[in-house]
Structure 1
């Protein structure tokens, strides 16, 4: 079965666990929070041991089978977590998962997380078996029109109130990125507390307070070709303790967008038509167009492949220095040939 992220908490509270949960999609905040909901619920129900497996090109799916069949040394119930990332189970993995789900161990709860799975991957045997035997929670970016209502609900959960203009400012600032929205709301709570209604001036003050090393400003800087400034900003983001997951997400989002833009322009579409079709905000169109002229579609595709490698570094599935690779990629995008 499939359920929406908004329904997941009620599902965990009202029903016995399914043998497997697959949380998949390209929206990082919902993926993270749904995963955390299951982990927290499992701990409360006595699943006190957590085993994490990260799938990469050398992953041996027999280790899943061995883990499932082994007795726990530390707890009677355990959470087995398989992080697929951009990978999917091969034939051996499909066989292991199918056998597991046909006879799931009563003391083990399986959580799988994955990036967005296209329609072809959703037709594979391992996916359809999970859908039949377990629960799939797809997480998608919100449409821009849905974002103000989401922000208002998030503010309410935090005990905050804001004017419609303030909510719209938060929405425009984050451009649909829920993790950025959540961080802005946390910041507003710290700055202004819960005893007043937050207005647009207060939101703008909070924005200005963090503008120096703000992630989206950094992305715009490198897309605009300002290499020296982009290096300083990235060093500042690191010094301020920003999560590289969020930094990489923001960068990947625009690289993926530029893949689409450059392919569309190369096919002969007009720039205004491309911007309209891809819902690119007017205030960003000049920067996106400037970056699109810098490299052909194949180069943007290469940059996208580099983000996959950095993502694997963040997850511990590949060796390398995440910040060094972010720096290398960003200066390349800004126009420096390495």
Structure 2
């Protein structure tokens, strides 16, 4: 949510909008804004009488607008919060009523609507009117290539120092579940001593991610054809497939080698163009260049075929019934031997 900082700052300074309509695929930013509205708009005494929280599956837009028009007890302002609004149906009649309310919101109510996990239809009149008044706030997912930067910023906000590549490690293993990432970082903050840097040992101890044996390091070892390290990681991860799901590994490696293939087709163009087309941080282009030297285009294509083959086997398609740990070792071995004399596994 691009305007989240301004929203939070204005709430703290009691500069409030009559309507906040949050929508989008990323729930984390909405939760942060909702928490601020719940905590900072009314005093604890005022909340008892003038703060109402309802859920989409239990209410309607007509009921919500009726609540917003009720005069608050003991004067002042009232806060009406609608959570899980994506579960509400909106009839044509309610859409018209909502549009009228947006045009003339009541002065004593702050109406907050959280429409999670998807965007609202931008063609609707009330949506256009909300946008026109700057009361519509889109919560956009953080793109994969932006995730490590986002994590590093959160670490900085918490006043923590880190060892190199920790944000990349967390991004690789925790994915783009921002709520989980935020919770894990807050837990780490509580257990860390003042001035202690966040390193691989702490991450492994408190989150369960090994700094040496994870999909990020496997990808790195395969990308540089470090056979000894790649096989060591494969055997280690194979002993704990529950903590290292094969489908997660396959997905990450598929994305990685697809980007190597894309890099081959873009070679010779400016770095900014290559990074933008690939959707990666320019910082990582040197890694892709190095891997592209180890894997010519035809070899990269063969690796992608191997990954598809392993995906099929892992899902039990065909006459395959091989444990995931064995499939992982087989996959790594085959990738490392692409371009060499054909061998049977």
Tell me, yes or no, whether TM beats 0.5: yes
Hey, what does 1:31 align to over in structure 2? 30
Measured in 2, the distance between the counterparts of 1:127 and 1:143 equals: 25
Work out whether residues 23 and 119 of structure 2, in 8 Å CA contact, stay in contact via their aligned partners in 1: no
Aligned residues: 233
**2:166 is aligned with 1:174:** no
Once the two structures are TM-superposed, the CA of residue 209 in structure 1 deviates from its matched residue by 8.8
User: After superposition, what is the alpha-carbon deviation per residue over 1:244-297, rounded to whole angstroms, capped at 9, x for unaligned?
Assistant: xxxxxxxxxx9xxxxxx9xxxxxxxxx968994999xx9x98996567677xxx
Task: Report deviation, 1:44.
Answer: 5.7
5 Å-filtered alignment, 1:154-165, equals 154-165=154-165
Residue 291 of structure 2 corresponds to which residue in structure 1?
Answer: none
- Secondary structure of the residue that 2:165 maps to in structure 1? helix
Q: How high is the TM-score relative to the length of structure 2?
A: 0.56
- Report the aligned-residue RMSD: 3.9
Mark the structure with the bigger radius of gyration.
2
Give the whole-Å Cα distance in 2 for the aligned partners of 1:77 and 1:135. 18
Shift of 1:18: 2.0
Conserved 8 A contact 2:161-2:197: yes
Q: Offset at 1:115?
A: 2.1
For 1:106 and 1:64, the matched residues in 2 are separated by: 16
Contact kept? 1:79, 1:110, Cα under 8 Å: yes
Go from structure 1 to structure 2 and tell me whether the alpha carbon gap of 1:114 and 1:293 turns closer, same or farther (over 3 Å shift): farther
What is the rounded CA distance, in whole Å, between the counterparts of 1:126 and 1:274 in structure 2? 42
The 1:292/1:16 distance shift into structure 2, 3 A limit, reads: farther
Is residue 2:140 matched to residue 1:140? yes
Unaligned runs of 5+ in 1: 211-228, 234-253, 255-260, 262-270, 295-338
Q: Is the 8 A contact 2:68 2:110 kept in 1?
A: no
Residue 198 of structure 1 aligns to a residue in which SS? coil
CA separation in 2, counterparts of 1:203 and 1:43?
38
SS at match of 1:52: strand
Q: Does 1:122 align with 2:128?
A: no
TM-aligned CA distance change 1:138 to 1:178, over 3 Å: same
Q: What CA distance in whole angstroms lies between the structure 2 residues aligned with 1:88 and 1:16?
A: 31
Compare relative contact order (CA 8 Å, sep 6+) and give the higher one, 1 or 2.
1
Match of 1:268 in 2: none
Task: In structure 2, list runs of 5 or more residues that go unmatched.
Answer: 211-240, 260-277, 280-303, 318-345
Deviation by residue 1:93-148 (Cα, 9 ceiling, x = unmatched):
212212222221111001010024447x1111121122223522211221122222
| Contact residue 61 and residue 88 of structure 2 kept, 8 A | no
